[in-house]
């Protein structure tokens, strides 16, 4: 398993050196909420096939960064390109097209409370992909539930699921549209260490199965270790360190080092 991870890391690093493989590029990104400047100078590049972990304490702007990427929050200054297209310049329809290539796993899973798991998963297929064939929809739903290991939960309501299950279903609902890039907003927050490890492992398995590139926002070091090819440390609205888990573990910087203690 460790060997596989090493090979994947090497592939991602090689990919990172090739500019043509860049799928997300942030340059000098800034964002303020009234007087509070959350993002001061964010520079980030995500390459095809790469798993990039953004590490940082709460309130440092990690979630704001990925919400800017997906167009949920407008940024004030700088450049944000997804597949070479500046997000700010896109029309509503163009943004929708880009969003089809992006998957976003919310911290809470964000399942639709009034729908069963089956309806939750079928929702993007019927509304976005305009699929009408019931059999085909059911097949897709079952396949993706199988991939996250929750085939038995198909007719349950979100209220009947545990935190870990909700995240898995949220992940399945995102993956059903087969995105090229996955954005994970604290995928292991609020979970016990065992479930947390399972989710991290699932992220790796799904990356292999669906060939996705990912940005993983977290402050969980186990998750960062398992999932990250490259780690960026965010503090006070800027990245203060970059490297592999092993590189950062050896860092002499007090702020970086505090995560590994």
Chain positions contacting other proteins, by CB under 8 A: 70-72, 96-97, 99-100, 102, 104, 106-108, 110-113, 123-124, 127-128, 130, 170, 173-174, 177
CA dihedral 175, 195, 24, 6 (to 10 degrees): -110
Nearest approach in angstroms of CB 113 to other proteins is: 7
Q: What tokens appear for 253 in the block?
A: 């910087």
* Nearest CB to other proteins, comparing residues 9 and 213: 213
Task: Please state whether 130 falls in left (phi above 0), alpha (psi between -120 and 50) or beta.
Answer: left
DSSP states of 181-195: EEEEESTTTTS-HHH
Nearest approach in angstroms of CB 96 to other proteins is: 4
* Nearest CB to other proteins, comparing residues 96 and 209: 96
* Nearest CB to other proteins, comparing residues 100 and 157: 100
Nearest approach in angstroms of CB 259 to other proteins is: 26
* Nearest CB to other proteins, comparing residues 100 and 240: 100
Helix (H, G, I), strand (E, B) or coil at 73: coil
HEC letters along 194-239: HHHHHHHHHHHHHHHHHCCEEEEEECCHHHHHHHCCEEEEEECCEE
* Nearest CB to other proteins, comparing residues 102 and 241: 102
Nearest approach in angstroms of CB 164 to other proteins is: 17
Nearest approach in angstroms of CB 20 to other proteins is: 26
């Amino acid at each position: 398993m460790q060997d596989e991870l090493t090979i994947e890391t090497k592939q991602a690093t090689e990919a990172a050196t090739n500019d043509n493989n860049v799928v997300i590029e942030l340059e000098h990104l800034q964002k303020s909420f009234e007087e509070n400047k959350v993002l001061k100078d964010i520079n980030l590049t995500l390459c095809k096939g790469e798993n990039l972990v953004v590490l940082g304490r709460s309130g440092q702007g990690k979630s704001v960064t990925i919400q800017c990427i997906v167009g949920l929050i407008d940024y004030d200054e700088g450049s944000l390109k997804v597949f070479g297209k500046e997000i700010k310049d896109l029309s509503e329809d163009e943004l929708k097209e880009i969003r089809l290539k992006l998957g976003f796993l919310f911290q809470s899973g964000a399942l639709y409370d009034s729908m069963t798991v089956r309806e939750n998963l079928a929702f993007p297929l019927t509304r976005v992909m305009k699929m009408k064939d019931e059999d085909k929809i059911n097949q897709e739903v079952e396949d993706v539930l199988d991939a996250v290991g929750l085939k038995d939960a198909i007719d349950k309501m979100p209220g009947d699921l545990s935190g870990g299950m909700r995240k898995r279903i949220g992940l399945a609902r995102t993956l059903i549209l087969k995105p090229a890039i996955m954005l994970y907003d604290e995928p292991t927050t609020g979970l016990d260490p065992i479930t947390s490890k399972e989710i991290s492992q699932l992220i790796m398995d799904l990356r292999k199965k669906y060939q996705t590139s990912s940005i993983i926002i977290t402050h969980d070091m186990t998750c960062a270790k398992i999932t990250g090819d490259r780690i960026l440390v965010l503090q006070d609205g800027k990245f203060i360190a970059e490297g592999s888990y092993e590189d950062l573990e050896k860092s002499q910087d007090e702020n970086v080092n505090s995560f590994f203690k």
